[in-house]
Amino acid sequence: MEFKDLGLSEGILKAVEEIGYKEPTPIQAQAIPAIQMCRDVLGLAQTGTGKTAAFTIPMIDALAGGRAKARMPRSLILSPTRELAAQISENFVKYGKYHSQLSMALIVGGTSMDEQVRNLERGVDVLIATPGRLLDLFERGKILLADIKILVIDEADRMMDMGFIPDLEKIVSLLPPMRQTLFFSATMPGPIKKLADKYLSNPKTITVSPPSSTSANVEQYLVNVTHPRAKTATFIKLYEQEDVKNAFVFCNRKRDIDEVCRFIKSRHISCAALHGDMEQDERTAALNKFKAAEVQVLVCSDVAARGLDIQGMSHVFNWDVPFNSEDYVHRIGRTGRAGAKGRAFTMVLPSDEKALGNIHKLIGKKIDVLETAGATPTEAPVPAPSVQQKARHHNRDQKQNHRHRRAPEDLDDQVDVNNGSFGNDIPSFLQKK
């Protein structure tokens, strides 16, 4: 099948051709005709399958020709994270290049509300939002949702992980019942299935790949380490053995991210951090630097990195075994995209046995253990955290727990993987001479 067989507008066909897409991906080939026929869609698809274009392209054609009234957007795309929302808006700009009359607004937290309010007042055809900020604006009377004709819920399972279901329920209750709903999720746990049943009417269900599968383009390895303190040395050895063009390094806890990033920089590898405690402009700057190859490594949390589409990433390193096995699939899926090859390494502690067992169960195979990575680094003695360190962590946790509205990204700190603390000390043999 070709794009021209899908009955799309000239403008879309031209934009898609200029981007260089040769043919629709399987989810596009199935979802686009269903959306054109005004059907609800239940898409079981991970990022990397082309699902964003599967809903944005037909939406652009469906909305073309109409005009939004002030503060009454005509379509709504809900995304769990700010970065994903921004990525969806970039897609709209690309595919909508020849539909410049359509207006779009991005409504996410961490940025000034004033400009968002001004945009809403001008009238918005496509509103892309994270649930928290959307509800804030609604509660302030800055937005009305009574004219929404198309609702997209993207990454529904992630919304659930991030505690967004009550917000989502509230938002959907404010929408007109006569609308088209497109619901995407990488996995379909019970509560998500219930939501889909509630929101969708006779949907076309599209499953593009089993949610638990890892791409054959990614070579995966485990690297055993005997203690958290040995991870620094192991990582550097691995990094030096590998031909790393650019990499994500995933940590389970936000508090580790800055320390890991500092450590990596101390080894003269350019590096930036990305996590939910950072201001939005810092997050955007870190991501832009990585995309522009100004830094080689991005140390990040699951929430910050979920679904990010960065072309040609050569490596993923899991500093920690993810607590949630589905996160493993998402993490390593950042590499090996669009037919490219990628490599993924996971440092494993003896205490990770259970989490690793769950991952093996989910992906239906055992990941090879890398025996030759030099994964038996000299281990520095493990100093117990100092009283000051303990107090610092305690104060930070207290501060986070007392926020008015917990940003979704805060939730990744709730995952305690019993890995022990990442200390400030770098094993002496790794320190700069």
Q: Which residues bind ligand AMP (CB under 6 A)?
A: 21, 24-25, 28, 47-53, 309, 338
Q: Give the contacts of 233 (CB within 8 A, at least 6 positions apart).
A: 377, 378, 379, 427, 429, 430
From 367, 326, 297, 282, select the one nearest 157 (Cα to Cα).
326
Supply 249's token pair.
């390094």
Beta carbon nearer to ligand AMP, 28 or 234: 28
Helix (H) or strand (E) holding 194: helix 190-199
At 158 the three-state DSSP class reads helix
From 321, 318, 319, select the one nearest 353 (Cα to Cα).
321
Helix (H) or strand (E) holding 107: strand 104-107
Q: What is the DSSP string of 40-97?
A: -EEEE--TTSSHHHHHHHHHHHHHTT--PBTTB-SEEEE-SSHHHHHHHHHHHHHHTT
Helix (H) or strand (E) holding 401: helix 387-401
Amino acid at site 74: R
In residues, how long is the chain?
433
Min dist. Cβ of residue 52 to ligand AMP (A): 3
- The partner residues of 298 in beta bridges, in order of sequence, read 248, 272
- Tell me whether strands 150-153 and 271-274 are parallel, antiparallel or unpaired: unpaired
Q: Could you give the CA distance from residue 263 to residue 132 in angstroms, rounded to a whole number? A: 34
Amino acid at site 153: I
Q: Could you give the CA distance from residue 100 to residue 60 in angstroms, rounded to a whole number? A: 10
Min dist. Cβ of residue 43 to ligand AMP (A): 10
